[in-house]
Structure 1
Amino acid sequence: MSLTRRILSLAVPAFAALLAHPLMLLADTWIVGRLGTVELAGLSIGSGLLLTVVGLSIFLAYGSTAVVARFVGAGRQRRGLEMGVQAMWVAAAMGALIALVMWPLAPWLASAMGAGPDVAPYAVDYLRWSLPGLPGMLVMLGATGTFRGLSDARTPLVLSVAAATLNLLLNLAFVFGLGMGISGAALGTAVAETALGLTAAALVAVKARRVGARLAPVWADMMHSLTVGFPLWLRTLLLRAALLLTTYVAAAQGASALAAHHIAMNVWNLLAYALDALAIAGQTIIATSLGAGNKAEARLFTSKMIRWSIGAGVILGLAAIALRAPIAAAFSTDADVRRIIGYLLLVAGATLGLAGYVYLLDGVLIGAGDGPYLAKAGAINLAVYAPLALVALLLPSGVPALLWLWFAFTVGFMGARAVTLGLRARGDGWLVVDDNT
């Protein structure tokens, strides 16, 4: 298979699969936006907290992708599947534990995120009704990483489309049919995520049985998954801290500004997932190449995918700018919120080319198992971004402060990531072939 076809065979289905959770949140945003601005602001806080948990757990997908692909590259598929199964056991345990801890803490968490007395009840309701779906969300992460490590991007695609469709139908039924309000939007997402996780786990089990891989939990392998994933978890923790800081500063600008920020950030995340599809292809290809001991191929693929990702970012950015008015109209009935969204999407669209470069190199280094460096770089990036974001609290509240915040995020934070990742990619320290395969 040619280089271009191999990248596309992984990236195109990965893009659609990545849309599952953001499409669920966009569906929630569209539906809750019809309930009112305060409810939409509550959704921003509640979904932000939920996304933080899911984001911190992304190492389950990234770690299993790299590990499984390395074993496949070394000709040890059975062992790769066993490690993928163990990642799912870790995911199920983590999801259940985190949900139990977050339930009683929901009011405190909403308050800590800056939710006022008018917004907090909606934030708490959304978070609590969403938590039962958390184990399914995390199991799907572990299963997705296993599929990607096997160069199977189609199965996550089919599962994601089915889950997104189910989520929309359930949300409409619960919110408007049963009159559950914002709680119904959360419950619909939780049910869809649970169905997604159970189905994905069953499909991985079928693959594992075919090659005689163990399905029962093995403590040593589970601990190995956690050990491999810890640097990626730390890297993600620092990334989520930056995103939470962004939400915190946006919350200080009032309900309309926060609602606009939530919608614009969801659009940014959707476009970022499109760019991340190439990064995910990079994870699989780089891990497989290094598992087979082929450094030259790893560097060749990296160079080509960088060009693709920057180009895709520029195109998506222009589309976001051109469609900013209809996007704003689709997600809010408030004229002030729509106006602010237009400003934010101008900033986002102008900087997506830079984001494409960042996401691609992040995926390449994850596939190379370069987690320790990514964790160190994450600390540097956060140190650069935090003071820039906090300057917004000193500016006139509302649009001026929110625009500065978005400049700080898209130029300051993404620029710092571009520098730290770019310097690493230019060297040879990440091209390691003597892995645990």
Structure 2
Amino acid sequence: MVEPKRADAGAREVVRLAAPALLVLAAEPLYLLVDTAVVGHLGAVPLAGLAVGAVLLAQTAAQLTFLSYGTTARAARLYGAGRRADAIVEGVQSTWLALGIGVLLVLVGQLVAGPVARAIGGGPGPVADAAIAWLRVALCGAPLVLVTLAGNGWMRGLQDTARPLRYVLAGNGLSAVLCPLLVYGPGPLPAWGLVGSAVANVAGQVVASVLFGAALLRERVPLAPVPALLRAQLGMGRDLVLRSLGFQACFLSAAAVASRFGAPAVAAHQVVLQLWNFQALVLDSLAIAAQSLVGATLGAGGGDRARELARRVTRYGLVLGCFFGVLFGALAWVLPRVFTNDPAVLAAIPVPWWFFVLLQPIAGVVFALDGVLLGAGDAGFLRTWTLLAAGLGFLPLIWASLAFGWGLAGIWTGLAMFMLIRLASVAARTHSGAWAVLGAVRH
């Protein structure tokens, strides 16, 4: 039996896990930034179509992050208790769930892509048509995305963030190379426009999912579905899905309201939102390390070590968030032009941009503490307070922005309220210590 590494190691162990996780988390939004930059030079309508289609697909995947985060929490506790094979079996079960749910998403998504894209995109028109064309192709990669989520989950539970890095970079690297070739069609290649970006996306997802599947086969653990484990994963997944619904309702509403203010507004929102998603996941790299280490520490019976780790990760998140706030503040007059040269879009970007900058320190702490609580399996608490933050902070201001014409300023004020409520809740919960339940399984 392979003994787990000590989960109470210091900063070096956090960095060992966080550094590859940082690159894994950054790979997908970085590819989306490349995609946004490539499509942005086609004009405001294709960029707005990508904004609508991408937010629908991203929120669908975000709704199912329990395949990653829930698997990590369960696998890490077993790994910390010295039960490595059982931890990998959790990955087998989450992969079965990924395949089943992914196929269902493809079938249902093709049926509802048109009506949903038109609803989010402001009704029938060129923006909705562009979003539908992109979405129908991109949906074909849904099972592959979910298999990758499950693969990241069980490997992180084993405190292995190096292999996921190699697999994700291989897939996204291929997508980044194919995207401009398929969109612009240089030389004899056909120019597929916006649809070319979706094809490139799916091609990269094929590569990554095959690599994760092959890694699971090499572990030589039983591959049959285990109904009891599937039910247990779905039980934890219920809370994480409800939590994700809070995010989904907020960001879909934001895209819908932004689209009512015209193509330049929704395109500007898309550019800054993609940067927000990128930074949220970059800051979350510490949370991935915390999740793996906290779960393993609690599985091994180390409550005091887990609480010290929570304090340490909070400090790291604050410092990293402050750093990125200063960095993106300095790039305010340069970076937006990488994504678009449309004068109307550039004129609309500064309003959401400064909200994005000022929220970085808050996001650094919130995402780090999310990782601590997820590692402890405290999904019920996170579910409740995410929904409260959405219902009391983000959603009222989004729809008030539409009613009173506040535009992007109102939408991003809602995001700020959402983050502040979450900050207060996770800080109080972490300080209480009620999350630090010991044992290989959280009861």
Select which of 158, 164, 178 maps to 1:150.
158
Which residue in 1 is equivalent to 2:404?
Answer: 395
Q: How does 1:200-349 map to 2 (within 5 A)?
A: 200-206=212-218, 208-209=219-220, 213-349=221-357
Select which of 424, 431, 434 maps to 2:429.
424
Contact 1:135 1:194 in 2 (8 A): no
| Secondary structure of 1:119's aligned partner | helix
What one-letter code is carried by the residue in structure 2 that aligns with 1:421? V
Which residue in 2 is equivalent to 1:408?
Answer: 414
1:78 aligns with 2:90: no
1:118 aligns with 2:130: no
Shift of residue 325 of structure 1?
A: 2.1
Q: How does 1:44-59 map to 2 (within 5 A)?
A: 44-59=51-66
Segments of 5+ residues of structure 1 without an aligned counterpart are: none
Q: Give the Cα separation in 2 of the matches to 1:140 and 1:233.
A: 18
Which residue in 2 is equivalent to 1:187?
Answer: 199
| Secondary structure of 1:344's aligned partner | helix
Q: Give the Cα separation in 2 of the matches to 1:395 and 1:335.
A: 25
Contact 2:81 2:440 in 1 (8 A): no
Q: Give the Cα separation in 2 of the matches to 1:219 and 1:309.
A: 38
What one-letter code is carried by the residue in structure 2 that aligns with 1:401? G
CA root-mean-square deviation = 1.4
Select which of 102, 105, 111 maps to 1:98.
105
| Secondary structure of 2:304's aligned partner | helix
Shift of residue 423 of structure 1?
A: 1.7
What one-letter code is carried by the residue in structure 2 that aligns with 1:294? G
Contact 2:300 2:440 in 1 (8 A): no
Q: Percent of counterpart pairs with the same letter?
A: 35
Contact 1:377 1:417 in 2 (8 A): yes
Contact 2:170 2:207 in 1 (8 A): no
Runs of 4+ in 1 over 6 A off after TM superposition: none
1:374 aligns with 2:354: no
What one-letter code is carried by the residue in structure 1 that aligns with 2:177? L
What one-letter code is carried by the residue in structure 2 that aligns with 1:52? Q
Change beyond 3 A, Cα 1:435–1:380: farther
Shift of residue 200 of structure 1?
A: 1.0
Q: Give the Cα separation in 1 of the matches to 2:437 and 2:245.
A: 25
Q: Give the Cα separation in 2 of the matches to 1:51 and 1:417.
A: 21
What one-letter code is carried by the residue in structure 1 that aligns with 2:39? V
Q: Give the Cα separation in 2 of the matches to 1:172 and 1:217.
A: 41
TM-score by length of structure 2 reads 0.94
Contact 1:24 1:168 in 2 (8 A): yes
Q: Give the Cα separation in 1 of the matches to 2:161 and 2:127.
A: 39
Shift of residue 435 of structure 1?
A: 4.7
Q: Give the Cα separation in 1 of the matches to 2:284 and 2:173.
A: 22
Shift of residue 110 of structure 1?
A: 0.6
Deviations 1:130-167, CA, capped at 9 Å, x for gaps: 01111110000000011101111111111122122100
TM-score by length of structure 1 reads 0.95
Shift of residue 340 of structure 1?
A: 2.1
Select which of 170, 194, 204 maps to 2:178.
170
Deviates more, 1:252-261 or 1:381-390: 381-390
Contact 2:94 2:230 in 1 (8 A): yes
Contact 1:43 1:123 in 2 (8 A): yes
Shift of residue 346 of structure 1?
A: 1.7
Deviates more, 1:157-166 or 1:287-296: 157-166
Deviations 1:161-212, CA, capped at 9 Å, x for gaps: 2122100122122212221111110011011112211111111221x21xxx
Change beyond 3 A, Cα 1:61–1:22: same
